[in-house]
Amino acid sequence: MLIRFNKPYGVLSQFTPEGRWRGLKDHIDLPGVYVAGRLDADSEGLLLLTDDGQLQAQIADPRFKMEKTYLVQVEGVAHENALAQMAQGVMLKDGMTRPARARAVAPPAVWDRVPPIRVRLNKPTCWLEMVIREGRNRQVRRMTAAVGLPTLRLIRTAIGPYILGELPVGSWAEAP
């Protein structure tokens, strides 16, 4: 069994809550399923869960280099130079990232985040679509910051062939 879950902001990629963050048990009541990969509490979107250990490893293990696609709202305007830097790889404290596919996109029709992102009237924002093949800790956020575009909102829309689609926030469905 493979479950797609549209993880809301403020929910951990684990069943038990911790500190101010809620756990998956508030949304998913299925015994024997485990998270395949992680998504930070302050990130939203597609999280996969499975009862198949081999599939879990294939999805989560960086050796398989499964693509992950994100919609990223950043502070600032994404100029070609910033997009080109991400396409070549970005130097982070833990080394050079693999090249990412990054492009500016029109603001997507997505659910309202609770709580909403901070808005600064004198700073424009824009949306990017980013595709990475690694899974370093907070990698997309660190990459956008490194090119001068701090992330305000991060929504994962796909992991390999598995897509979020129209799944409502906080809901889950069995993957086809």
Active site amino acids: 40
DSSP SS3 for 140: helix
Distance CA 143, CA 89 (A): 9
Q: Which two tokens stand for residue 51?
A: 């009862």
Please report which helix (H) or strand (E) contains residue 53, including its range.
Answer: helix 53-60
CB 64 within 8 A of CB 151: no
What is the chain's length?
Answer: 176
Distance CA 98, CA 62 (A): 12
Please report which helix (H) or strand (E) contains residue 50, including its range.
Answer: strand 44-50
